[in-house]
Structures are given as C-alpha cells and as structure tokens.
Amino acid sequence: MNTFNESAIASYVKTRAEENCKLLQNNMNELEKGKILGRMEAYNEFLERFGYEKVECK
C-alpha cells in the first residue's frame, strides 16, 4: 500500500505523462521529440517503481 504522498505524486506524474503524449501529436523537430520521449521514459520508470501502470501514448 502506498502513502498519500506517493499516490499524489504518482497522480501528478501520470498527468504530466498524458500531457506529453498529447504534445507528441504535434509537429516538432527530432530534438524536441527526443526530450519528450526521455521525460516519458523517466515518468514511466517512476510509476513502475511504485507499482503503478506506465502511460502508453495512443
């Protein structure tokens, strides 16, 4: 069982990851896309570490 703080942080991270998925739908250069994908990887590692499902972009 996770603490309230862990749950709140995980919720925030999940929201940020979902926002990044939306950003990936825009036209952008490879550098910008790489930065977002790097953030997504870090967000998903955090979520998995605390027992949450990772965010997949559709």
CB pairs under 8 A, 24+ apart, for 43-52?
43/13, 43/14, 43/16, 43/17, 44/17, 46/10, 46/13, 47/10, 47/13, 47/14, 47/17, 50/2, 50/6, 50/10, 51/2, 52/10, 52/14
Residue 2: what pLDDT?
67
What gap in Å lies between CA 5 and CA 16, rounded to an integer? 17
The average confidence (pLDDT) of the chain is 92
Per-domain boundaries in the chain: 4-49
Q: Write down the pLDDT at residue 16.
A: 96
Residue 47 has pLDDT above 60, yes or no: yes
pLDDT in tens, 9-35: 999 999 999 999 999 999 999 999 999
